[in-house]
Amino acid sequence: MDKKTIIGLVLICLVFVVFGIMNRPTEEQKAAMRKQQDSALNAQIKANDKARQHDNKDSLSIDENDLVSLQKQAQGNDSLENALQEKINNKYSSFSACAIDSAKHIILENDVFKVDLQNKGGEVSQVILKNYKTYYKKPVTFFTNNGNNYGLNLSVGQVVVRTQDLFFKVFVNNKPYTSNKPIKVTGKDSVVISMRLIPNNPNGENNQAYYDNAKQYIEYKYILRGNDYRLGYNIVLNNMQDIIKDESTLEMIWNSELKLKEKDAEIERKNSSVYYLLNDEVDYLKENGRDDSKTESGIPIKWISYKQQFFSTALMAKKTPFTSATMVDTTEKKADNSYVRTMTSSLSLPYQNDKQYTEYAMNFFYGPNKYSLVKDYDISMEQIIPLGWGFFLLQWLNRFVIIPVFDFLSGFDLSMGIIILILTILVKIVLFPLAYKSFASTAKMKIIQPEVDKINEKYPKQDQAMQKQQAMMGLYKRAGINPMAGCLPMLLQFPILVAMFRFFPSSIELRQQSFLWADDLSTYDSIVNMPFNIPFYGNHVSLFCLLMTVAQLIYTKWTMTQQSQNNSVPGMKFMMYLMPIFMLFMLNSFSAALNYYYFISLLFSIIQMWVIRKSINEQKVLDTLEKNSKKPLKKSKWQQRMEALEKQNKQLVAQRSKKK
């Protein structure tokens, strides 16, 4: 590696650092961002309050959670019962009969998850994945303690009714559900569970016969399939045009509190965000643990995903996309250590209130961020996995090279540590021709160093730089050295290093896979947990990161010994030795798989460099140089142009001197 290569690598790192510093928001910008987020949150709160309240102030004294208690207190007192019923009618209008009921839960189960449906709000209250566990060996669970709420906000008369406050009637395959047994499906089987919100009977009593034969209702139709992480979710409005007075759009609110599933809550928080497909382009709210909000309108929104580090829940529209969405991603201060983030969306669906039947077909997704799984849905949802989508070369490497090879090796049921080792060897074999040219060029340049020193002594002045450069190029050519051979291979290898930097931390296949002392290759390996936190480093010591740093220091020292003394730049050695220390602090909290890959990759580079260095015959290089020195050196077109330019410059200088 020559001086230009070293300077290039250092400059690349400096560009990243300077770019991050220059793009860091000022205090004024941070204040403006917080103000914008607070404004969006306040708007969301007002929207929720609007759904809870209406113009009748007396009804505000009723809390839907206390309706059953109030009803029991009023029993036997006609005046109290009538007053309570009047308040319920005022609050819920045509759906007042749905305001009070007993809570019921329906357990659904297929090959990959268990789903808990509740009749209150007709919602999914909990999802448990069968094939995955948290870092703490508990089943991966989406939502607990009412941490998932969604439903429609409907304009009914003069009030806004929230469906999530009301009790739905449960039907299975269009028959009333009376059993308490879980509903199970496997393989290619499926079952339909209907949650129906049936308005008051205008002609009489709200009895079971009326509910069983009702032709007017709002229905949440859930379709459970055997081997699928998707739960079908269709919203049906049947003969509701006389009750629902919404015009042009229906408002749907979806709020979820995400729970901790990985080892480090802070890392998981930084890797969690709201993703969505805006027409055919995937966009997302800010990551890195920062609160953010965004409103999109005028462009179809086909799906929204509440993405965590390795798992996501998503709402996918099939035929009718959302017309607008306001999305908010926040971290609230909570005593619960298992809490990660809160994500809220206010979604708009197109609606015509003169239609007798309206159906919105959707899917809920509750599952892993596994590339092969979500890619099969063919809705660009694989882009929630950070593989370098903004840089075409990185995503091509990961999508068409790294992932297929990794999946192929995984099919042999090997340890993930062995798979990474084999993957590293394959990468090194592919890159060996480039590495050979780079190392061989560096070795040859050191051999001809005495000749380089002679040229430097012959052209010591600054105005002789052109002659010096031409002499150097002639020397390299006679010795059979390509000066670009040291730099170009490094540039070609750089995208692979960055692709691996994105691949390993986001690969769910590495999750909870142990190797040597690391109990989970997807997160950092910790051999020492410290009672204090070191800024920019953390409160733990990663052994793989330490080994990688030592290997990088050895590689740097070996590389520096191959450089000639006069090619060194003042302070360059310090910068080169500072880089491994910088990487130590940067990668200490990254996945053990990434540090392990970098470590063994550096070991192979050191071995390759040693073997190539030993394979270079110094006497042969010198003999070639001496032999070619006796031959006339054929000048390249570039050299000819440079000499012509130099001659022209001399003539201009001479003419100006004569005029003076």
Q: Give the CA distances from residue 125 to residues 95, 602, 627, in Å, rounded to whole numbers and listed in that order.
A: 22, 49, 83
- SS3 state at 503: helix
- SS3 state at 113: strand
Residue 253 corresponds to which tokens in the numbers above?
């609110």
Angle between helices 488-506 and 3-22 (to 10 degrees): 40
DSSP 402: I
pLDDT value of position 183: 92
H or E segment at 29?
helix 27-52
Q: What one-letter code names the amino acid at 590?
A: F
- What is the four-CA torsion angle of 602, 605, 607, 613, rounded to 10 degrees? -140
Tell me the C-alpha distance between 239 and 243, whole Å. Answer: 9
Q: How many CA atoms lie within 13 A of 647 on its CB side?
A: 6
Tell me the C-alpha distance between 440 and 447, whole Å. Answer: 11
Tell me the C-alpha distance between 92 and 337, whole Å. Answer: 37
Pairing mode, strands 322-330 and 339-351: antiparallel
Annotate 199-230 with three-state secondary structure.
Answer: CCCCCCCCCHHHHHCCCCEEEEEEEEECCCCE
- 């001496």: which residue's tokens? 626
pLDDT value of position 627: 60
Rounded to two decimals, what is the model's pTM?
0.77
DSSP 369: -
pLDDT value of position 110: 94
Q: Count CB neighbours of 602 within 10 A.
A: 21
Domain boundaries, the chain: 105-385, 395-565+574-623
Tell me the C-alpha distance between 367 and 316, whole Å. Answer: 13
Closest by CA to 636, choosing from 644, 647, 628, is 644
pLDDT tens-place string over residues 344-376: 999 999 998 888 899 999 999 999 999 999 999
Residue 568 corresponds to which tokens in the numbers above?
């060194």
DSSP string, 571-599: THHHHHHHHHHHHHHHHTTS-HHHHHHHH
pLDDT value of position 92: 79
Contact 502, 388 (CB under 8 A): yes
pLDDT tens-place string over residues 282-330: 999 988 778 899 999 888 999 999 999 999 999 999 989 999 999 999 9
Q: Give the CA distances from residue 450 to residues 170, 404, 460, 485, 622, in Å, rounded to whole numbers and listed in that order.
A: 89, 49, 15, 21, 11
Angle between helices 572-587 and 592-615 (to 10 degrees): 150
Residue 190 pairs with which residues in a beta bridge?
225
Q: Max alpha carbon distance in the chain (Å)?
A: 122
pLDDT value of position 566: 45
pLDDT value of position 597: 92
pLDDT value of position 459: 74
Domain 105-385 -> CATH class: mainly beta
H or E segment at 549?
helix 543-561
pLDDT value of position 283: 92
Rg (CA), the chain: 34
Residues of the chain with pLDDT under 50: 1-2, 16, 19, 23, 30, 33-34, 36-64, 564-568
DSSP 321: -
Closest by CA to 374, choosing from 358, 390, 363, is 363
Residue 274 corresponds to which tokens in the numbers above?
């709201």
- 């919602």: which residue's tokens? 123
Which residues, in sequence order, are CB contacts of 237 under 8 Å at separation 6+?
218, 219, 244, 357, 358, 359
Residue 36 corresponds to which tokens in the numbers above?
């914008």
